[in-house]
Chain A
């Protein structure tokens, strides 16, 4: 197996994990799936760093992803969701998605759409990069779909992280990653964002007594104050 085949396999796995994330029934399994997806992303970055020799930036990025997205963020989200959801057992009983089949059909349509949209970007005839860019855009769109269809705050955090993974993957295949300084800046912003998500979980839990964002309906046009 050559390096391109490995990368093609990894990009397929990235898309597969996104689909699985979308239709998971429980928060815990979603978090594990996210960790797997990040692990594949980390491997893809590592593979890219071997294809172009002396790319220490990419090697470092792979380590950064592993530490941040495979270990820290899943651990942090799991810790928070366990600590907060135990109070309200009825929250955990119901499945996260009502119609998984319909959802995966919509997701498939989005994948086709992104293949169509990225048609103009396929500058090289290489099998890997022409597929990978469409996959990167699909992951971004599926992350947005996840945020729209789910109603738990933790799923929203995961949806944002999936979008972030998609963007990182796009940068990896299009331009072999962003310059290191920018990469670090983005990683810092992501870290702050995930901590803010944590702060919000606590605030939401105290103000609406659950992490179900459907209960956020106080602010509407023309409501009495």
Chain B
């Protein structure tokens, strides 16, 4: 019951936004729907806690929610709610400044809820074809959000995002068909496409087909996650999209692509037993991490800089899941949650910074602490958090991944450790130049920032700080349940 309530609330939003035209109504209803969705999610989590079930099956086994999907749902509804809170003020301001029209605001809300709906479907799809349809849907829903401002730059970014991602994801469809084909001999056609049936009978799948299938799936969903040779669209799309959209892309879309990759990693590992999936993930994860942490050093645009930070972190996560031992999987899952929270906090904060300084150029952003202490401090805290400084949750994730690497491949740990230092140094330098010093007050008038726009980022960072100091047992239990999918206990 609650399961369907969560799934269908965004659908209700899609229907409502087809009619609502008043701006203030629209932003309020968007916030209201997202909040209701998250409250329903809390109810589902409470039920999960009282009856520790390992999964829920629904709709003739087409929908399936296990601990891994539950993490996805919780993140989607929570970040969906906080971003809706941020976009409340942000979009009204944009409307006032005439950067968007009333019609585009309606479009924004329609696609916002379609995006959330696609993500919820993707995280709970048992049918791997449905998983593909949902992820493609999430891509299509965000394309016009990236180009919402209709500037030539935004249109170029959206075009690149569109063409690269739909071609990439088409390859994932081919991989999905190959898996369906590999299961034809051992399962009946209606079950050969269900993930839980495939996982149960993984050993009977034709291994040579599974190899080919995983390569296609890896390239397809890897493109969407922004792994290195396929990452070109990502910095453009993040830097040209409006603040809340960048928060959604970095906090949620990246996760869903990684989630799909993990599902097929589990399946391929169960079937092949030779670690091909793990090797691919280690190589490309490390490649993304090294490339992005070096590129991070010479960025001039604040949003581009943070998008390279996203590539770097998705690299670490892919690497961690590729390592495949218990410590690595647990830290990888923990890392995924913390990164989503911090990154969406960062992009909402950057939205505020841009509102203050009217620029994305790092060298023109000076003395934020004096310009607006709230925004300045939020940016400093967020930068420390994303760099993996000790009191914050990401530190635990990084230490976990590092220890797991020492356990399995000590040589790779050297690269990893050096990379962490390089990233930390880069972020510290950017923090110093942007937050400290004296602002150039003559250059631009500094408008006030409504306190409500600071709440989402503050809330996220608070949670990250708490998780860095204390991990609740229920939280740990879900992580362990999700990790057991990988290790197969």
Contacts and interface: CB of A to CB of B under 8 A. Distances in A.
Nearest to A200: B159
B309 interface: no
Interface stretch (A5-13, A67-75, A214-222): A214-222
8 contacts: A120-B211, A140-B171, A160-B170, A167-B177, A175-B181, A175-B192, A179-B190, A208-B152
A117 B212 contact: yes
Given A163-B170, A179-B129, A203-B150, A219 B140 contact: no
A171 B298 CA distance: 46
B129 A222 contact: no
Contact of B160 (A121, A159, A164, A216): A216
Nearest to B159: A200
A98 interface: no
A219 B300 CA distance: 12
A225 interface: yes
A189 B140 contact: yes
Contacts of A192: 137, 140
Most buried by B among A121, A171, A174, A219: A219
Please classify the interface of chain B as helix (H, G, I), strand (E, B), loop, or mixed, using the class held by over half of its residues.
helix
B156 A189 contact: no
Interface string B128-160: 011011001100100110010011110111111
A189 B135 CA distance: 10
Contact of A167 (B173, B208, B298): B173
Contact of B127 (A123, A167, A182, A216): A182
B193 interface: yes
A166 B193 CA distance: 20
Contact of A196 (B62, B143, B359): B143
Interface of A: 117-118, 120-121, 123, 137, 140, 144, 147, 153, 156, 159-160, 163-164, 166-167, 170-171, 174-175, 178-179, 181-182, 185-186, 188-189, 192-193, 196, 199-200, 203-204, 207-208, 213, 216, 218-219, 221-222, 224-225
Nearest to B298: A222
Given A171-B177, A175-B181, A199 B144 contact: yes
Interface in B171-209: 171, 173-174, 177-178, 180-181, 184, 189-190, 192-193, 206, 208-209
Contacts of A204: 155, 159
A147 B239 CA distance: 25
B283 interface: no
Interface string B202-224: 00001011011000000000000
Given A167-B173, A203-B150, A219-B240, A147 B181 contact: no
Contact of B129 (A160, A185, A188, A221): A185
A67 B66 CA distance: 39
Contact of A156 (B151, B163, B192, B295): B163
Nearest to B190: A179
Given A175-B189, A178-B177, A193 B166 contact: yes
Contacts of B159: 153, 200, 204, 213, 216
Given A175-B189, A182-B133, A207 B155 contact: yes
B130 A163 contact: no
Interface string B343-387: 000000000000000011100000000000000000000000000
Contact of B163 (A121, A147, A178): A147
Given A207-B155, A218-B156, A225-B301, A167 B170 contact: yes
B312 interface: no
A213 B129 CA distance: 32
B177 A174 contact: yes
Given A121-B209, A204-B155, A196 B162 contact: yes
A134 to B, nearest CB: 12
Nearest to A173: B181
Nearest to B129: A182
B398 interface: no
Contacts of B147: 203
A33 to B, nearest CB: 20
B153 A170 contact: no
B56 interface: no
B156 A216 contact: yes
A188 B137 CA distance: 9
B160 to A, nearest CB: 7
Given A117-B212, A178-B129, 12 more contacts: A140-B170, A144-B167, A153-B159, A166-B174, A167-B173, A167-B174, A185-B129, A189-B133, A196-B140, A208-B152, A219-B156, A219-B160
A189 B167 contact: no
A188 B300 CA distance: 40
A164 B172 CA distance: 12
B44 to A, nearest CB: 25
Most chain B CB within 10 A, of A137, A144, A182, A216, is at: A182
Contacts of B177: 167, 170-171, 174-175, 178
Nearest to A140: B174
Contacts of B360: 225
